[in-house]
Structure 1
Amino acid sequence: MVDDARFEDGAEKPLRLKAQDSEDLVAISAVLQDAVLPVSEMQFQAGEQRFGLLANRFRWEDVDAAAASKRAVERVQAVVVFDSVLKVRSSGLDLKDKEQVISVLSMTFEAGEDGAGTVVLTLAGDGAIALDVECVEVTLADVTRPYIAPSGKVPSHPA
Structure 2
Amino acid sequence: MTGAPLKLLALDAEDLAVVSAHLQDAVLKASDMAYLARERRFVLVCSRFDWAAVDGGACQRRRTGMRFEQVSAVRARGIPKGGDAALELLAIRFAPELEPAGTIELVFAGGAGLRLTVECIEAALDDLSPAWQAETVPGHD
* TM class by smaller structure: over 0.9
For residue 155 of structure 1, report the CA deviation from its aligned partner. 0.6
For residue 153 of structure 1, report the CA deviation from its aligned partner. 1.6
Matched with 1:19 is 10
Normalising by structure 2, we get a TM-score of: 0.97
The percent identity for this pair of structures is 39
Superposed CA RMSD in Å reads 0.9
Aligned partner (choices 4, 18, 21) of residue 30 of structure 1: 21
Matched with 2:88 is 103
- Size of the aligned set, in residue pairs, is 141
Normalising by structure 1, we get a TM-score of: 0.86
**Which string of whole-angstrom CA distances, capped at 9 and with x for unpartnered residues, describes residues 114-157 of structure 1?**
300000011000111100000000100000000111xx221111
User: How far apart in 1 are the matches of 2:15 and 2:56?
Assistant: 24
User: How far apart in 2 are the matches of 1:42 and 1:101?
Assistant: 12
For residue 100 of structure 1, report the CA deviation from its aligned partner. 1.5
Matched with 2:140 is 157
Which structure shows the higher strand fraction?
Answer: 2
1:123 paired with 2:97, answer no
Matched with 1:79 is 65
Residue type at the aligned position of 2:63: Q
Q: Secondary structure at the match of 2:17?
A: helix
Query: Stretches of 4+ moved more than 2 A in 1?
Result: none
Matched with 2:33 is 42
Matched with 2:74 is 88
Q: Secondary structure at the match of 2:56?
A: helix
Unpaired segments of 5 or more residues in structure 1? Answer: 1-8, 67-71
Matched with 1:62 is 53
Residue type at the aligned position of 1:52: V
Unpaired segments of 5 or more residues in structure 2? Answer: none
Q: How does 1:137-156 map to 2 (within 5 A)?
A: 137-149=122-134, 152-156=135-139
